[in-house]
């Protein structure tokens, strides 16, 4: 395999960085494949629920699509828990970082903060503040996150729901992740 000539980035040449750009472009193009693998890994993630975390994610995306949500929203619903295996306490932040270049800032914010908003449904059972989401009340995305959790997260653990398979969402995932549209947008 061809490699760069440098051992310190400051010593790189234009040819070195052209080579790295070629490798980076191929790597980025394969992101949908890696995300599909990460989704599949949710099949064995965290027991105790009536369905797997993969089925939960698919159910969230299915419900969002059936409600007429756009493709960015559907993919945000599909991938909202993608970071759970690596970052169980900050999985929303990890998923939001993956989605940030590809979905509008409102959805990135929703995914990033959905864990805190979910406490509204169970926090009082585990000694947490069920109103912790109130600290975000002034955000323009507060209502969108509350609605996401109500419609596409807290209720998506139903083993009898007619959930669409991952193959249904693959072309949508590939379209949404085909090119970054929000690289300059920030989230807070």
Per residue in 111-163, pLDDT tens?
Answer: 999 999 999 999 999 999 999 999 999 999 999 999 999 999 999 999 999 99
Residues 6+ apart with CB under 8 A from 82: 35, 38, 39, 42, 57, 91, 94, 95, 98
Residues 6+ apart with CB under 8 A from 76: 99, 103, 107, 108, 110, 111
Whole-number Å distance between alpha carbons of 38 and 84: 10
Homologous superfamily of the 13-176 domain (CATH): Hypothetical protein af1432 (1.10.3210.10)
Its pTM stands at 0.93
Question: Residue 170: what pLDDT?
Answer: 98
Instruction: Look at the chain and count its residues.
Output: 188
Residues 6+ apart with CB under 8 A from 135: none
Whole-number Å distance between alpha carbons of 37 and 74: 18
Of the pLDDT bands very low, low, confident and very high (cuts 50, 70, 90), residue 185 is low
pLDDT over 90 (residue 60): yes
pLDDT over 90 (residue 37): yes
Domain parsing of the chain, residue ranges: 13-176
Strand ranges (E), the chain = none
């Amino acid at each position: 395999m061809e490699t760069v000539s440098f051992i310190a980035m400051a010593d790189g040449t234009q040819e070195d960085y052209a080579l790295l750009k070629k490798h980076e472009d191929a790597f980025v193009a394969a992101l949908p494949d890696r995300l599909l693998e990460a989704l599949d890994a949710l099949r064995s993630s965290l027991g105790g629920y009536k369905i797997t975390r993969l089925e939960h994610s698919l159910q969230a995306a299915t419900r969002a699509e059936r409600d007429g949500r756009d493709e960015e929203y559907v993919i945000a619903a599909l991938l909202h828990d993608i970071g759970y295996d690596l970052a169980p306490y900050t999985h929303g932040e990890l998923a939001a970082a993956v989605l940030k270049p590809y979905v509008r800032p409102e959805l990135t914010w929703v995914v990033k903060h959905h864990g805190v908003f979910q406490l509204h449904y169970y926090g009082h059972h585990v000694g947490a503040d069920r109103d912790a989401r109130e600290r975000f009340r002034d955000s323009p995305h507060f209502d969108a996150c509350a609605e996401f959790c109500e419609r596409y997260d807290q209720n998506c653990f139903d083993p009898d729901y007619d959930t669409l398979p991952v193959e249904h969402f693959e072309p949508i995932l590939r379209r949404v992740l085909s090119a970054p549209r929000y690289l300059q947008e920030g989230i807070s």
